[in-house]
Amino acid sequence: MQIIKEKAALQQVISGFKSNETTIGFVPTMGALHQGHLSLVIQAARKCDLVLVSIFINPTQFDNPSDLQNYPRTLNSDVALLEELNLNVIVFAPNASELYGDSVKAEHFEYDGLEFEMEGKFRSGHFNGVGTVVKKLFELVLPDMAFFGEKDYQQLQIIKKLTEKHNLPVNVVGCPIDRENNGLARSSRNERLTAQERENSAIIYKILQTVKEKFGTENASNITEWVQKQFNSHSFLKLEYFEIADSNTLKTINKQVSGAQYRAFIAVYAGDVRLIDNIALNY
């Protein structure tokens, strides 16, 4: 498998593909790949001739220095996992100065208010960092399609907004959340959970499934209170936020409107590991 570390080499390879009219599906990641990432790669390979996977731990999207420091770095095993898929995949794994030059800083982006909801309230500057790196990568890779997980649903909506606002000619595709057997959404951060924390964290998805059932008959504020209660009595998991929001605007709802689509979003700490998840409620 070809592993490219420099921008110039990547641009050369890409211009070759572009002249052959090879379609490029792009899967940006921060590495420590798991089945969730691979599901995106498989989806991309179904839709495009070639899949470009970037592996880059983007420093500008971390609001917490120890989270950045502790983030797993596993390039060799990532490449081995991709090789096992036996698909037409190329890896782009630059270092920070290759992508950012001397100034490893985030630009400021506006996403019509999407950035102020949920993760935006708790991870200061996070979506500026995400926008900065994704825009740089889109302009470099010039993909036909880019694949993002619904696991990070707010990020997916923000990337769609970014491409729209900056006229980036990329078709952004959302892919379903891949889960462990106990329902826990796969995440590179799950590797940092103890066996006990991993087992306890299964409750997050169980609660989301119950929320979905309740959504048919109960109002959003009662459901939110119920969720908060489940965590008040939990000794291992700490709830950061739970919200029921409109799937497009991400605004918390007071009242359901017919025809609108809703999702429940949650962020929970298991020890010092932050876990997020979400579920579609009425579609």
Active site residue 34: no
Instruction: Please identify, using beta-carbon distances, which residue of 154 and 224 lies nearer to ligand AMP.
Output: 154
Q: Exactly one of 123, 126, 160, 186 binds ligand AMP (CB under 6 A); which one?
A: 186
Nearest approach, Cβ of residue 281 and ligand AMP (Å): 18
Nearest approach, Cβ of residue 128 and ligand AMP (Å): 16
Nearest Cα to Cα of residue 26 among 158, 153, 144, 149: 144
Site string for ligand AMP, 119-148 (x = CB under 6 A): -----------------------------x
91 DSSP β-pair partners: 3, 53
Phi, psi of 275 (to 5 degrees): -120, 135
The SS3 assignment for 265 reads strand
Q: Where are the alpha helices (DSSP H) in the chain?
A: 7-19, 35-47, 65-70, 75-85, 96-100, 119-122, 126-141, 153-165, 195-200, 202-215, 220-232
237 DSSP β-pair partners: 270
Nearest approach, Cβ of residue 177 and ligand AMP (Å): 4
Q: Exactly one of 4, 14, 24, 30 binds ligand AMP (CB under 6 A); which one?
A: 30
Q: Using CB under 6 A, which residues numbered 152 to 181 contact ligand AMP?
A: 152, 175, 177-178
Sign of CA dihedral 249, 30, 200, 123: negative
User: Does 277 sit near ligand AMP (CB under 6 A)?
Assistant: no
The catalytic residue positions are 37
- Residues near ligand AMP (CB under 6 A) are 29-30, 36-37, 39-40, 148-149, 151-152, 175, 177-178, 185-188
